[in-house]
Amino acid sequence: MRVFVVNSGSSSIKYQLIDVASEQVVLAGMLERIGQRDTDGQPAGDAADHTAGMMLVLERLGAEAGTIAAVGHRVVHGGDVFTAPVVIDAEVEASIQAVSALAPLHNPANLAGIRAARAALPGVPHVAVFDTAFHQTMPPAAAIYAIDRAVAAEHGVRRYGFHGTSHQFVAVRAAALLGRPLAELKLIVLHLGNGASATAIDGGRSIDTSMGLTPLAGLVMGTRSGDLDPGALLHLLRSGLSIDELDRLLNSRSGLLGLAGSSDMRDVRAAAESGDADAERALAVWAHRIRHYVGAYLAQLGGLDAVVFTAGVGENAPALRARALAGLEHLGLALDAARNESPSRDARVISPEGSRVAVLVVPTNEELAIAQAAAALVA
């Protein structure tokens, strides 16, 4: 079965046509800078909006469009309505819309992509696969924030967690690599991309994760702050920042960008290596926050079989993996330098032979996971 996977972002549409049985990517591409205009107001990007973008994608698909059996959509926030992938209808669209304010960088764009794709490909089922679904197994103690319970219930304020499709996919592959059943493994998965999150996985179930009500909490990200004292928000609001300014500050102007002037980890690393003190400090904060979660999740799991690195930074930056785990040798967490620095693209062990805790690199593939989930649902 061939599934067309759409990851519709605020300014981009990434797509792949995947043959699920063979895991082959038949065709892949991306539209960028959707909706952007130059200083004269002329369209500057690949498409004027998501609808126009999807028509362009359809043109690029050509005759292949006729081979699509289902469309799988990445949807970041599913609230507490969705615990598994669903076939999209008007009601599902409305539920995705209802939680859009909780993932302002993601859900509105996901929904625009869904609407455009359903209009462009009306004859096949469209399946939503949610970042939040995997984390719905979290125990209440991990999901609940200690605020007035009536207010929390009225506004749906709780921890949801994100990147679940990736965390789950990587956990399954980690178990295969270790040659042990996932059901008996305690794992910490570090998804370190532009967005970043850590998840504690016990027997294949998410028991805690670093993102929260929104994808803003937790680790230091490209442009997002991760954790900070909620009192800081009150202080900034009282100091005169508007709500929109505060939103932009925390979601779009913080993280590596705020600390070091670039949201791209490659730039930050290069700057740190050439002696830039801000970049060096940004890396120190980044690594400190990761260790904070590794320690916390080791305690919540009550043991640990493996720490797993994935996503852009986790898969590609040996020196940063080493930096993230520096000083944790007493927990049995160590890297084998040669294994860590191997240029291999495959899932692999990077801890020394016989380590108490394994350290792994496992490439994530959210598109394949979405294709598999959509195929399983419509089969």
Ligand X SMILES: Nc1ncnc2c1ncn2[C@@H]1O[C@H](COP(=O)(O)OP(=O)(O)O)[C@@H](O)[C@H]1O
Ligand Y SMILES: CC(=O)OP(=O)(O)O
Task: Give the residue numbers annotated as catalytic, written as ranges.
Answer: 131
Residue choice 9, 45, 79, 193 for contact with Mg ion (CB under 5 A): 193
Q: Is 312 annotated as a binding residue?
A: yes
Q: Is 366 annotated as a binding residue?
A: yes
Residue choice 159, 269, 321, 323 for contact with ligand X (CB under 6 A): 269
Binding residues for ligand X restricted to 196-255, rule: CB under 6 A: 222
DSSP 8-state secondary structure symbol assigned to residue 121:
S
Q: Is 37 annotated as a binding residue?
A: no
DSSP 8-state secondary structure symbol assigned to residue 22:
T
Q: What angle do CA 119, 123, 124 make, to 5 degrees?
A: 100
Site size toward ligand Y (CB under 6 A) is 9
CB 75 within 8 A of CB 110: yes
DSSP 8-state secondary structure symbol assigned to residue 75:
E
Q: Is 222 annotated as a binding residue?
A: no
The residue range among 95-103, 110-118, 174-182, 308-316 that interacts with ligand X, by the rule CB under 6 A, is 308-316
The residue range among 114-122, 126-134, 223-231, 265-273 that interacts with ligand X, by the rule CB under 6 A, is 265-273
CB 211 within 8 A of CB 161: yes
Give the CA distances from residue 263 to residues 139, 191, 267, 276, 323, in Å, rounded to whole numbers and listed in that order: 33, 16, 8, 15, 19
Binding residues for ligand X restricted to 177-206, rule: CB under 6 A: 193-195
Of 305 and 366, the one with the shorter C-beta distance to ligand X is: 366
Residues 6 or more apart whose CB falls under 8 angstroms from that of 206 comprise: 134, 135, 137, 138, 161, 164, 167, 168, 199, 200
For residue 313, the partner it binds in ligand X, Mg ion, ligand Y, none, with Cβ less than 5 to 8 A by kind, is: ligand X
CB 219 within 8 A of CB 314: no
Which string of x and - marks every residue 315-354 that binds ligand X (by CB under 6 A)? -xx-------------------------------------
CB-CB neighbours of 242 under 10 Å: 9
Q: Supply the minimum distance, in Å, between the C-beta of residue 113 and Mg ion.
A: 15
Q: Supply the minimum distance, in Å, between the C-beta of residue 180 and ligand X.
A: 27
Question: Does position 195 bind ligand Y by CB under 6 A?
Answer: yes
Binding residues for ligand Y (CB under 6 A): 76, 106, 131, 162-163, 193-195, 215
